[in-house]
Structures are given as C-alpha cells and as structure tokens.
Amino acid sequence: MVDPGEHQQQDAETSRGQQREPRWLDEEELEAWMAVTALMIRLPGVLDRQLQRDADLTHFEYQVLAGLSQAPDRTLRMSELAEFTEGQLPRLSQVAARLEKRGRLTRRPDPSDGRYTLATLTDSGMEILVAAAPGHVETVRRLIFDPLTRAQVRQLREIGRRVAGAVNGEPTT
C-alpha cells in the first residue's frame, strides 16, 4: 500500500502498454486504511460471538431474519434477500436451509414466477429475532456509537454511504 521503493518493478500496465505508477497511500491514508481493515476483520467476529452466545444465531443468520422481518408479509425472493444481506445465493441457500430446518423460515416457489424461490419468516423466527435484538443493539451501540460524538456519527453515516457507493460502482464527486 505504501511505495515499496525503487527496487521493485511494477507490472501494472495501462491498456496502451505503458507502465503507470500506482497511487500509493500517504501516511494519513495508510493509517485510516489500517483502522478500517482492523474494523472489517474484528467487528464481524465480535457480533457473531454475541449473537451465538445470546441467540444461537450467526450475524449473517440475524441479517437474514431481519431482512425478512422488514419485508411485506415477512417474505422476499431469495435473490432479493441475497442482495439485502450482501450474500451470494449459494451461501444464502445453505443458511436458509439451516434456518428452515430450525423452523425459523420457510421456502417455496414463487407462485407468480416459478423460477424464483420465496423465503418467509415464520412466527418462531420472528420470536427469535425479537429476543435477539436487544442484545445485538446493545453490542452495536457499545462498539460503534458510544465511542463517537453525534457529529462523528453523522460523519460515519456519510463516510459509509460514500464508500458503499464507490463499492457499488456509483460515481463519487
């Protein structure tokens, strides 16, 4: 991420065959990147452990149940649910099968288009989600919001939106 020095050759080339110099991170950017990287690595594990301990759910399973709970009739196409959870369909299908086995959701073909599968949050799944939410919210509050001022929370929201937009290929201005 930082300029490795003159002794390493760069093999990145432009489409015209010309070498281009990487846009190395400066010291401040590197420190910010390392902080973001640490957050991306550590936070999911902490959230998983809390939800496993308190509700026998992974964070991904919690997100699946939460996504369904917000949908009309607590039902979404699996493809829409995958988009909501930022999960790949094969992973979501495995998790949905596990949740279905435990009675947390049901799956059935979409009657309007049999090429799609609908997932529906069951009453049992909703009860688990409602029971898990207070502990999860407290953990999120303690880890993310309590250390920040209100101004920093607003900044975090805007930073998150801008970075998510860049990740999604939206132009940044």
Nearest to 91 by CA among 61, 126, 113: 61
**Which band of pLDDT confidence, cut at 50, 70 and 90, is reported for residue 87?**
confident
DSSP at 9: P
At 118 the three-state DSSP class reads: strand
CATH of the domain at 126: 1.10.10.10
Contact residues for 30 (Cβ-Cβ < 8 A; gap 6+): 1, 2
Q: Is residue 72 in some structural domain?
A: yes
Nearest to 110 by CA among 101, 123, 120: 120
Q: Is residue 71 in some structural domain?
A: yes
- What is this structure's pTM? 0.81
Q: Is residue 89 in some structural domain?
A: yes
Q: Is residue 57 in some structural domain?
A: yes
Is the per-residue pLDDT at 12 higher than 50?
A: no
85 touches 44 (CB < 8 A): no
User: How many structural domains does the chain have?
Assistant: 1
Query: What is residue 11's predicted lDDT score, i.e. its pLDDT?
Result: 44
Section 145-163 average pLDDT = 97
Q: Is residue 128 in some structural domain?
A: yes
pLDDT, tens only, 56-66: 999 999 999 99
Task: Tell which phi-psi region holds residue 106, choosing left (phi > 0), alpha (psi between -120 and 50) or beta.
Answer: beta
pLDDT, tens only, 24-46: 999 999 999 999 999 999 999 99
Section 18-28 average pLDDT = 91
Taking the C-alpha atoms of residue 171 and residue 173, their distance in angstroms, rounded to an integer, is: 7
Q: Is residue 156 in some structural domain?
A: no
Is the per-residue pLDDT at 75 higher than 60?
A: yes
Nearest to 12 by CA among 23, 28, 25: 23
**Which band of pLDDT confidence, cut at 50, 70 and 90, is reported for residue 172?**
confident
Q: Is residue 147 in some structural domain?
A: no
Q: Is residue 172 in some structural domain?
A: no
Residue-range definition of the domain harbouring residue 88? 51-133
